[in-house]
Structure 1
Amino acid sequence: MFTGLVEGRGTVHLLEKNGSAIDLTLAIPEWITNDAHLGDSVAINGCCLTVVEIEVGFLKFQAGAETLAKTNLGLLSPDDQVNLERPLAANGRLGGHFVQGHVDGVGTIKSIDRDGEWITMWFDVPEALALQMVAKGSVTIDGISLTIVESQPASFSIALIPHTLGVTTLGQKQVGSVVNIETDILGKYVQKLIPITSDGFNERR
């Protein structure tokens, strides 16, 4: 379980094909590697992966075919930066929202509107994901817990403060960039319990 509060950034050091999977080695801040153990979970751009090898300053992970199909990890290149978060400690503060690290799919940055130091971003997403979003609700973008400003049938917007732009990879993104999306788990359960018909109304109306 994660919160979507990014702890730091790592840098892609090495990408190696391994059949339909990839081995991903990241250069990681030492304060994370010093506390890492084999088998630990780490959210990389919001995708929960397992530590399979540890070296000083580096952690190695493996991403399978399903992960590559649902996330942007397969689009990474050496020297790209990624957002990092370790799992929530039992005595930790839940400052974001409940994030599983199970990416639902990807979205594409549609527009970037600047207002001084602030930025409003619009994202295009599959309608199935947009259906699980509401204005003022939570969404995870590349592992970052954010609040939805507007929600439309196949897109949504967020407002980014300078701090978020400075400590995460969103400040480096451009129009057309692909990002990982995880919708709020609460919205998924509500949708499961109250199915929506093709005309957009609740079946139990």
Structure 2
Amino acid sequence: MFTGIVQTQATVAQLHDRDNFRQLTVEVSPEFLHNVALGASIAINGCCLTVVAFTETTVSFDIIDETLRLTNIGRLAVGDKVNFERSLKVGDEMGGHYVSGHIHCTGAIVKRERSTDNLALWIEFPESFKAYVLAKGFISVNGASLTVGQVESNRFSLHLIPETLRLTNLEHADIVNLEFDQQTMTIVETVERVLNQRGVM
């Protein structure tokens, strides 16, 4: 479980690819790997990955076909920046919203609108997820817990403050991982199921 509060950006240091498999190694400041252990969960661009090896400044993950299919992890190249968040511990401050690290799909940043102190992004996503995207609702974008701005069909906007731009890779991203709010999904699907049972839909 994660909060969607990105702690830092890590750098892709190594990639080893085989058929439907990728080993990813990222480099990060040692302070963010304090007490890390094999089997620990770390969110990379919002995707919950399992630690398979580590040093003082690097951590490695094995990524299989389903994760490569659903996320932007397969698009990464050496030198790319990724959003990094350690898993939530009991007693940690809950600054964002509950994020599982289970990516539902990717979205494409189709428009950027810059002003003096913020950046607005428009993200297009698969139409099958439209019911779960609500104005002022929660969404995780590359692992960052954000509030949806406007919604137009299968596009939504985000308004990013300088601190979010500093901590995350969203300013220069093109394809982003999306995790929709699980509580919203549960409510929508429950209502739809009840209405179908009653013959309303």
Q: Scaled by the length of structure 1, what TM-score is found?
A: 0.92
> Could you say what the CA RMSD is over the residues aligned between the two structures, in angstroms?
1.4
Superimposed CA distance per residue, residues 31-63 of structure 1 (whole angstroms, 9 cap, x where no aligned partner):
122321000000000000000001121100011
User: How far apart are 1:204 and its partner, in Å?
Assistant: 4.0
The number of residue pairs the alignment matches comes to 197
The answer as to whether partners of 1:47 and 1:101 remain within 8 angstroms in 2 is yes
Match of residue 183 from structure 1: 180
The residue correspondences of 1:35-50 to structure 2 (distance < 5 A) are 35-50=35-50
Match of residue 84 from structure 1: 84
The answer as to whether partners of 1:13 and 1:25 remain within 8 angstroms in 2 is yes
The residue correspondences of 1:49-60 to structure 2 (distance < 5 A) are 49-60=49-60
The whole-number CA distance in structure 1 between the counterparts of 2:97 and 2:34 is 26
Match of residue 193 from structure 1: 190
The answer as to whether partners of 1:195 and 1:203 remain within 8 angstroms in 2 is no
The whole-number CA distance in structure 2 between the counterparts of 1:19 and 1:99 is 29
Superimposed CA distance per residue, residues 6-51 of structure 1 (whole angstroms, 9 cap, x where no aligned partner):
0111100111113311000111210122321000000000000000
SS in 2 for 1:191: helix
User: How far apart are 1:203 and its partner, in Å?
Assistant: 6.0
The whole-number CA distance in structure 1 between the counterparts of 2:61 and 2:200 is 45
The whole-number CA distance in structure 2 between the counterparts of 1:132 and 1:203 is 22
The whole-number CA distance in structure 2 between the counterparts of 1:86 and 1:76 is 20
The whole-number CA distance in structure 2 between the counterparts of 1:135 and 1:75 is 29
Match of residue 146 from structure 2: 146
Letter aligned with residue 80 of structure 2: D
| Cα gap change, 1:32 to 1:203, in 2 (>3 Å) | farther
Q: Scaled by the length of structure 2, what TM-score is found?
A: 0.94
The answer as to whether partners of 1:130 and 1:156 remain within 8 angstroms in 2 is no
Match of residue 136 from structure 2: 136
Match of residue 199 from structure 1: none
Moved over 3 A (4+): 202-205
Q: Percent identity of the aligned residues?
A: 35
The whole-number CA distance in structure 1 between the counterparts of 2:62 and 2:39 is 11
- Specify every segment of 5 or more residues in structure 1 that has no aligned partner in the other structure, as ranges: 197-201
Task: Determine if the alignment matches structure 1 residue 165 to structure 2 residue 165.
Answer: yes
Letter aligned with residue 178 of structure 1: I
Letter aligned with residue 172 of structure 2: Q
Task: Determine if the alignment matches structure 1 residue 21 to structure 2 residue 21.
Answer: yes
SS in 1 for 2:2: coil
Letter aligned with residue 162 of structure 2: P
The whole-number CA distance in structure 2 between the counterparts of 1:46 and 1:110 is 20
Structure with greater helix percent: 2
The whole-number CA distance in structure 1 between the counterparts of 2:157 and 2:72 is 19
User: How far apart are 1:194 and its partner, in Å?
Assistant: 1.4
Match of residue 99 from structure 2: 99
User: How far apart are 1:113 and its partner, in Å?
Assistant: 0.2
The answer as to whether partners of 1:194 and 1:204 remain within 8 angstroms in 2 is no
